Structure 1
Amino acid sequence: MNVGKTLFAQVMEFVPWKTFGRIIERHRGDAGVRTLGCADLFRIMAFAQLTWRESLRDIEACLSANRGKLFHMGLKNVPARSTLSDALNLRDWRIYHALAMRLITRARALYATQPLDIDLDATVYALDATTIDLCLSLFEWAPFRTTKAAVKMHTLLDLRGAIPAFIHISDGKMHEVGVLDFLPIEAGAFYVMDRGYLDFARLFKLHQAGAFFVTRAKRNMNARRVYSAATDRSTGLICDQSIALNGFYAAQDYPERLRRIRFKDPESGKNLIFLTNNTTLPPLTIAALYKNRWQVELFFKWIKQHLRIKRFLGTSENAVKTQIWCAVCTYVLIAIVKKELQLDASLYTLLQILSVSVFEKTEISSALRPDPSLPEMPQSGNQLNLFEI
């Protein structure tokens, strides 16, 4: 890689620009555009994510201060705030969604051999949603409550490498369980979710598609025991049962038997009741699968802390979705860089290095490898360490 290029330019080389160009042509993204096309907008949004710019004025000032380096970013000049605002509102967000899915496909292939904490060959997904609060007077298209607006980011996280395999952005009123209606189902994969997704009709469709699910039972679930397997209570297992649903509608929604596992968490002392349609895995493996669901919660916390999706640069639906998808593209792109260059540093460390050195003209693999001779700084107890991938 040419060491005469800035770090930002070297990171951008990992973007599949030919594929991105075809995506832009398919959506006619640059039709009638004279300045700041779709590719330039992505470069600016990626720059804003990497350098933590939080407003259009902030982006403009930072680019103006480095006007002599814009050519090395792939930009001809500094876009005005109004031009950038118009681009966010008018460039179709589906273009950046398609780019994100292309990058996700590449990243998942790179992390396919990443080991899980569980001895399991199957693909394991964690499903959850996070709410991003907005101002109702500015974001009228995203109603949530009487005095509040919000968008929800429904995410299916591949636990091998913590790469999002599927993301759906909706307004705040959409219930989490509704995403099961259009979730891509992979036969043989495990879908781990909390009890907010306990809808027997939707879970039965997932079962019929040949996939497995692991979730928690609600307290008022009406079911009868059909068979009990022997358990070793010294491991925390209380029971491993085959059950049938008693409720009239529930039995129609899920006419087959379910597996119910009651487990006492040794750390919290709580009794947890898991439901699954898998009958072959050991019960402790089912409990461990559900414990790994916490990775999707950490993913949400991580991107909210380290990517710019809590403060939006535009108020329209298109602008918000464009910014979110560009943030996802940036996250996955750095994960690809880390794997391609076989870097040992965490994604947090890589983003910190890039945030202060995007205009440095050093070889990227050297710049992103911390000097081993320097003493390690103690990390804050609040720092998330999930992404040591």
Structure 2
Amino acid sequence: MNVGKTLFAQIMEFVPWTSFSRIVQRYSGDAGVRRLTCSEQFRVMAFAQLTWRESLRDIEVTLGANSSKLYAMGFRHSVHRSTLADANESRDWRIWSDLAAVLIRRARKLYLDEDLGLELKNTVYALDATTIDLCLSLFDWAPFRKAKAAVKLHTLLDLRGCIPAFIHISDGKMHEVNVLDILVLEPGAFYVMDRGYLDFARLFQMHQAGAFFVTRAKSNMNARRVYSAKVDRSSGIICDQAIALNGHYAAQDYPEHLRRIRFKDPQTQKILVFLTNNTALPPLTIAALYKRRWQVELFFKWIKQHLRIKKFLGNSENAVKTQIWCAVSTYVLIAIVKKELQLNASLYTLLQILSVSVFEKTEVSSALQLDGNTIDNPSDANQLNLFTF
């Protein structure tokens, strides 16, 4: 029983604090610290995410108004905006990156048995990037265009549970395809990507690593048909072919045969051309795999709407990365809570409840459990229904 503990304190009990202490020691995060240790800093940043605080003053005033409950939430002292600002500026952002990695590993184990509906035992990832626009005069370390700054979130999303397995934060100028150079490939896994990642040399490295890719061909791709398999055109599959790349450099970049599948979408009547190095799966499964790529687009839309990553509490690169990684950690933490407590509510609903109830002293499993009187999500906000796992 958690009698007398606030909902926030109960949520924080799901953080692996022993592992976090080792991470803090690795980067000397608490060296010379009198107030606001790294654990307290994460609590403040998680509180800001859960309650939608958008400024340092907002955080300070809200916590100050509940000063009698701060000790029970894990704070030894009152939180001042100047102290929090200094911590975000000075403490290594890799502390929060490593914490997110620990939480991600835990979450992926919990969601390992989620059904993709494709009768596949392989891990399926969706790879994409999203841009967060910034003001160039304030964030000059993140150039994007002539009069605009931005950061990019390069994300590899595990489609079983929509858990980000890999995130790389770069300035806006880094092209999406370059992330393939730093991605640790998993043999046997499927990587579903859009045409922005169509680089044959990098795709061949993926092929040699034993991983499978599914992407779309560009309209100007120069290739010749080597073999055509029989297809059922009534299913929407126009052709299923083995192809070889023409052109001197393209043939050197990918010297083996590729599989090309033409598919006519029955809903939009649009013809899509898929490329893959997997020759065993039925062509309709390849088309269904690419359709699952849309989950990463919904993930980006969701986190931009429901996490505080569009307005930042500091202007330095370290402060921005700290806030983003703390937001990712909070997101994954709530996904862990949902799975471990076997809650039926969506992630959106859980965050809505916590945003107004973090100071309530109620058992977390009952506070976050939906009853028959719960109002459904607005029907015009379909993107909010993504996380129903």
**TM-score (norm: length of structure 1):** 0.99
Distance 1:268 1:255 in 2: 34
SS state at 1:260 partner: strand
Q: Which residue of 2 aligns with 1:319?
A: 319
Distance 1:376 1:81 in 2: 36
SS state at 2:187 partner: coil
Q: Which residue of 2 aligns with 1:268?
A: 268
Q: Which residue of 2 aligns with 1:380?
A: 379
Q: Which residue of 2 aligns with 1:182?
A: 182
Conserved 8 A contact 1:242-1:258: yes
Unmatched runs of 5 consecutive residues or more in structure 1? none
The Cα of 1:376 is off from its aligned counterpart by 3.5
Equivalent AA in structure 2 for residue 244 of structure 1: A
Conserved 8 A contact 1:15-1:333: yes
Per-residue displacement from partner, 1:65-109 (whole Å, max 9, x unpaired)? 001110111002222211111010011100000000000000000
Q: Which residue of 1 aligns with 2:92?
A: 92
Distance 1:299 1:64 in 2: 33
The Cα of 1:375 is off from its aligned counterpart by 5.5
Q: Kindly, what percent of the aligned residue pairs are identical? A: 76
Q: Which residue of 2 aligns with 1:109?
A: 109
Q: Which residue of 2 aligns with 1:20?
A: 20
Equivalent AA in structure 2 for residue 192 of structure 1: V
Q: Which residue of 2 aligns with 1:371?
A: 371
Distance 1:138 1:121 in 2: 47
Task: After TM superposition, list the pairs within 5 Å mapping 1:60-79 onto structure 2.
Answer: 60-79=60-79
The Cα of 1:382 is off from its aligned counterpart by 2.1
Equivalent AA in structure 2 for residue 101 of structure 1: A
Task: After TM superposition, list the pairs within 5 Å mapping 1:333-348 onto structure 2.
Answer: 333-348=333-348
What is the aligned-residue RMSD (CA, Å)?
0.8
Q: Which residue of 1 aligns with 2:230?
A: 230
Equivalent AA in structure 2 for residue 7 of structure 1: L
Conserved 8 A contact 1:125-1:189: yes
Equivalent AA in structure 1 for residue 28 of structure 2: R
Q: Which has the larger displacement, 363-372 or 140-149? A: 363-372
Conserved 8 A contact 1:100-1:325: yes
Distance 1:32 1:329 in 2: 25
Q: Which residue of 2 aligns with 1:137?
A: 137
Distance 1:3 1:142 in 2: 47
Per-residue displacement from partner, 1:244-266 (whole Å, max 9, x unpaired)? 00011010000000000000001
Task: Describe the shift of the 1:188–1:138 C-alpha distance in structure 2 as closer, same or farther (beyond 3 A).
Answer: same
Distance 1:2 1:361 in 2: 8
Per-residue displacement from partner, 1:191-221 (whole Å, max 9, x unpaired)? 0000000000000000000000000000000
Task: Describe the shift of the 1:383–1:78 C-alpha distance in structure 2 as closer, same or farther (beyond 3 A).
Answer: farther
Structure 1 residue runs of 4+, over 3 Å off?
375-378
Distance 1:265 1:126 in 2: 20
Task: Describe the shift of the 1:53–1:375 C-alpha distance in structure 2 as closer, same or farther (beyond 3 A).
Answer: closer
Q: Is structure 2 residue 15 aligned with structure 1 residue 3? A: no
Distance 2:39 2:31 in 1: 13
Q: Which residue of 2 aligns with 1:282?
A: 282
Task: Describe the shift of the 1:135–1:338 C-alpha distance in structure 2 as closer, same or farther (beyond 3 A).
Answer: same
Conserved 8 A contact 1:124-1:160: yes
Distance 1:312 1:201 in 2: 37
Distance 2:210 2:46 in 1: 38
SS state at 1:286 partner: helix
Distance 2:333 2:199 in 1: 35
SS state at 1:154 partner: strand
Q: Which residue of 1 aligns with 2:299?
A: 299
Per-residue displacement from partner, 1:252-304 (whole Å, max 9, x unpaired)? 00000000000000111110000000000000000000000000000000000
Q: Which residue of 1 aligns with 2:37?
A: 37
The Cα of 1:54 is off from its aligned counterpart by 0.2
The Cα of 1:165 is off from its aligned counterpart by 0.3
SS state at 2:127 partner: strand
SS state at 2:256 partner: coil
The Cα of 1:184 is off from its aligned counterpart by 1.2
Q: Which residue of 2 aligns with 1:239?
A: 239
Equivalent AA in structure 1 for residue 150 of structure 2: A
The Cα of 1:379 is off from its aligned counterpart by 2.0
Distance 1:335 1:227 in 2: 46
Equivalent AA in structure 1 for residue 85 of structure 2: S
Q: Which has the larger displacement, 145-154 or 74-83? A: 74-83
Conserved 8 A contact 2:64-2:79: no
Conserved 8 A contact 1:67-1:77: no
Conserved 8 A contact 1:2-1:363: yes
Distance 2:376 2:302 in 1: 20
Q: Which residue of 1 aligns with 2:357?
A: 357
Q: Is structure 2 residue 53 aligned with structure 1 residue 81? A: no
Q: Which residue of 2 aligns with 1:58?
A: 58
Q: Is structure 2 residue 237 aligned with structure 1 residue 248? A: no
